[in-house]
Structure 1
Amino acid sequence: MKKNVAIAMGGFSSEYRISINSGNIVYKNLDRSKYNPYRVHILQKEWFVIGENDTPYPINRSNFTVTIDGQLITFDCVFNTIHGTPGENGLLQAYLELLDIPQTSCDFYQSALTFNKRDLISVLKPFGIKTAENYFVDKGDEVDPDEIIAKVGLPCFVKANKAGSSFGITKVKSRDQIIPATKFAFKEDNEIIIESFLDGTEVSVGVITHNDEILALPVTEIVSENEFFDYEAKYLGKSQEITPARISEEQTKKVQEIAKLIYRKLKMKGFSRSEFIFHNNEPHFIEMNTNPGLSEASILPQQAQAAGISLKELFGSAIEAALKV
C-alpha cells in the first residue's frame, strides 16, 4: 500500500523561497508507485496542502491531518525540506515526535544543536575537531572591536549564529567595519559568532544514511567568485562547485572520515552537509546543514549523482529510513 508523504516546505525565515524550491524538487522526484506526495506549506500564519489547480487545503495542526474533497488524509511520513525555523532548529521535529509521525531529518535535539553554530562547535571540540578561532556576542553586549581583533585577527567573518544560506554574514577587513557587521548580523539573530579567516580550499561533505549504512558522499570543492561562499555564490551562480574536489585522495578520505565521525557522535539521521576549509593542510570544520538544499543544482544532489544515486533513490531512501525508526 502506498504511503502518504507530506513534503514540508516554506518556514518562517529568510530561507523560505529556497525551501519551497527544495520541496518542489522532492515532490517532482518521489516514486509515485510507492508514495502519494503532498506539498505542505508551513508558514508563520497558516499551514496548508497545495492541491489540484493550486487550491490550498488547511492543515489541522492538532493532529497534522488535512481534509481534501471530503476525505481525511493522514500522513505516514513527513519529508522535511524546511531550511531555517521551524524545520532546521528542532521545532517541527519535536511537534511531529509528539504526534508520533516519522520525519526524514534528524531528531529535535540534534536539529537545535546543529542550528546553533557556537553550541555545535563547543560540543565537537572535545572530539578533536579543528575549527577557526571564534568570539561570541549577544545582542545588548558591548562590542569591543579591539578585543575582537586581538582574539580572531583580521580579516574575520561576522555571522548570525542561528541562520542559514549565508544570511547575516559579513567578511570584515578593517576595524571600522566590525560594528556595522554586527548590526547586520543582529537583523537575523540575537546572537552572533565572529570567526578568524581560514585561508585554504573550502569543501563540502554530504553524509547520509543509505540502505542502513552511514555513507559519506563524494567531496565538493567550493570556488566562489565573491569574497566568500555567500548567498549570491550559493544560489545565483556566483561560484563553481566541483565534484569530486580537486584534493588528494588522502585529504578526501580524511575529511570524509571526520564528517562521518561528526554524524555518528551527534547521533544524526537523514541528510547532513558539513563545510570544511583545508587550512595548513588540515580540515577545519565550519558548520553543518541538516536540511541542505535539494534542487538538481544543489551540492548534496550533485554529490549523490557522482556516487551513482538518483534523486528518486536518494529521496526514497530517506523516507524508508524514517519509516524504520
Structure 2
Amino acid sequence: MVEQKKIRVAVMMGGISSERDISLSTGRQILEALDPEKYEAFGVDSALMPGSQRAIEKGAGSDIDAVAEARIALAGSNRLVPVAQIVDTGSVCRPDVVLIALHGKYGEDGTVQGFLDLLGIPYTGSGVLASALAMDKSMTKKILAADGILTPKSVDFTARFGDWDRDYIEKEVEKLGYPVMVKPSRQGSTIGMTKVNTPGGLNSAINDALAYDEQIIVEQFISGVELTVGVLGNDEPFALPVTEIVPGHEFYDYESKYAPGGSEHIIPARLSEENTARAQQIALAAFKSLGCRGIARVDIILSGGEMYVLEVNTIPGMTPTSLVPEAAKAAGISFKKLLDMLIGLALEEGK
C-alpha cells in the first residue's frame, strides 16, 4: 500500500503588527491541532525577513527578538522558520499551502496575500482585494452601502488630505450625535478605538486613533444586541450559527475579546427564527459584497428592529475558543475539521 503524501502546511504567524502576540498564540494552537497523519506543518514568522530590523508596531512587544518566545512555544516537532525559506522552490520548507494566522496590518490587509500570489502558493482566506477592502473600515462601509447593507452612520478623515481642522471635525461629528466611536480605519481587535460620550473627549480619542493610522473613522454609537456570524466557503458559502456576544465592558473592546471572562458567547443567539435567518443572510450578503472567500466573520448589531454591519473580519481568531470555531463546533464541526475545511478551500481556490 502506497503511503499518502502529507500536505505541507506553513502556518504564517507573528508578524510586526500591534496584534503580533495574538497571532503567535493563534498560530501555536493551530499547529497543535493540525492532524500529523495528514499534514507536515511548521510555523513561519513573517517578522523574520532577511536583514529586517523593522520596528514592531506599538503594542506588539519590545523588539524583533520577541520571536524567541515563539520558538520556545513551538519547540518540538513544529518548527518556526523565516519567510525566505518558503520562497525557494527547492526548499524543504516550500509549502503546498499557507494557513494565514496573521492579524492586523501586513496580514489581513492584502499585503501577504499578494506576496503569496506572486509565489504561486495557495493560502487560506480572502484574496488581495477583499482583504484590503475589509481591513479598511471606511471602504467596507462604502461597498456595503452600495449593495444596500446597513452600517452605522459615520464620517472619516485622512491626515494626508488636510482634513484636520478640528472645528470642522467637531461640526461633522456633532451631526452624528453623541455618543460616537472613534477608530483607526485600518486596525483590528478594537485597538485604538474609543467611545466618546461628549464633545470634550473627541480630541483625545482622535489622537489615540492617529497613533495607529493616518485615517480615522468616527461612527455613530448604536446600543443593541451584539451578534457575530461566521461564514465558510468559496463559490457556495454558508453561514454558521449566530453567536450573541455579551461583553463585560461597555462595548466589545480588546479586553472583552482576549481577557479571561471578558465576555460571554451565547450560541445560538437568543433571537427569533426570523432574526436568526436575517443575521445569516446579512452576513452572507456582506461576505459576497466584498468578494470574500474561505472564511470571514461578520459583526452585526441589532437595534430597534434593524441590523447594522459593524465589521467584516477576513482572518477571524482561530483558537478553539475563538468565535468562529465555537460557532463551527455548535454546527458539529470540530476545530480539526474546521482547519481541514480551510486548507481544502485554499487548495481548491489555488487550482
Range into which the TM-score falls when normalised by the shorter chain: over 0.9
Give 1:150 deviation, angstroms.
2.6
Is contact 2:86–2:94 with CA below 8 Å preserved after alignment? no
Is contact 1:7–1:38 with CA below 8 Å preserved after alignment? yes
Map Cα deviations across residues 10-42 of structure 1 (whole Å, 9 max, x no partner).
122111111111111211111222111111111
TM-score scaled to structure 1, two decimals?
0.93
Give 1:55 deviation, angstroms.
6.8
Structure 2 unpaired stretches of 5+: 53-66
**Counterpart Cα distance in 2 of 1:29 and 1:142:** 51
**Counterpart Cα distance in 1 of 2:149 and 2:226:** 16
Structure 1 residue matching 2:166: 3-state secondary structure: coil
**Counterpart Cα distance in 1 of 2:80 and 2:25:** 18
Q: Alignment partner for residue 33 of structure 1, among 19, 22, 37? A: 37
TM-score scaled to structure 2, two decimals?
0.86
Specify which structure has the higher proportion of strand: 1
Question: Residue 324 of structure 1 aligns to which amino acid in structure 2?
Answer: E
1:76 equivalenced with 2:96 (yes/no):
yes
Q: Alignment partner for residue 212 of structure 2, among 169, 180, 188? A: 188
Question: Residue 128 of structure 2 aligns to which amino acid in structure 1?
Answer: F
1:305 equivalenced with 2:305 (yes/no):
no
Give 1:61 deviation, angstroms.
6.3
Q: Percent identity?
A: 37
Q: How does 1:86-101 map to 2 (within 5 A)?
A: 86-101=106-121
Give 1:223 deviation, angstroms.
1.1
1:259 equivalent in structure 2? 283
Structure 1 unpaired stretches of 5+: none
1:271 equivalenced with 2:295 (yes/no):
yes
Give 1:267 deviation, angstroms.
2.4
2:64 equivalent in structure 1? none
RMSD, aligned CA? 2.1
- The worse-fitting range, judged by mean Cα deviation, of 311-320 and 22-31 is 22-31
Aligned length: 320
Is contact 2:48–2:83 with CA below 8 Å preserved after alignment? no
Q: Alignment partner for residue 63 of structure 1, among 66, 87, 101? A: 87
Structure 2 residue matching 1:322: 3-state secondary structure: helix
Is contact 1:65–1:75 with CA below 8 Å preserved after alignment? no
**Counterpart Cα distance in 2 of 1:36 and 1:157:** 44
Seen in structure 2, the aligned counterparts of structure 1 residues 285 and 62 have a Cα distance that, compared at 3 Å, is same
Give 1:119 deviation, angstroms.
0.5
Map Cα deviations across residues 103-141 of structure 1 (whole Å, 9 max, x no partner).
001001110010000001101102111111101112252
**Counterpart Cα distance in 1 of 2:292 and 2:46:** 24
1:173 equivalenced with 2:193 (yes/no):
no
1:11 equivalenced with 2:15 (yes/no):
yes
**Counterpart Cα distance in 2 of 1:277 and 1:270:** 23
1:163 equivalenced with 2:159 (yes/no):
no
Question: Residue 127 of structure 2 aligns to which amino acid in structure 1?
Answer: D
Map Cα deviations across residues 37-83 of structure 1 (whole Å, 9 max, x no partner).
1111111656999575587544426825696xxxx331100000101
1:235 equivalenced with 2:258 (yes/no):
yes
2:46 equivalent in structure 1? 42
Give 1:149 deviation, angstroms.
3.5
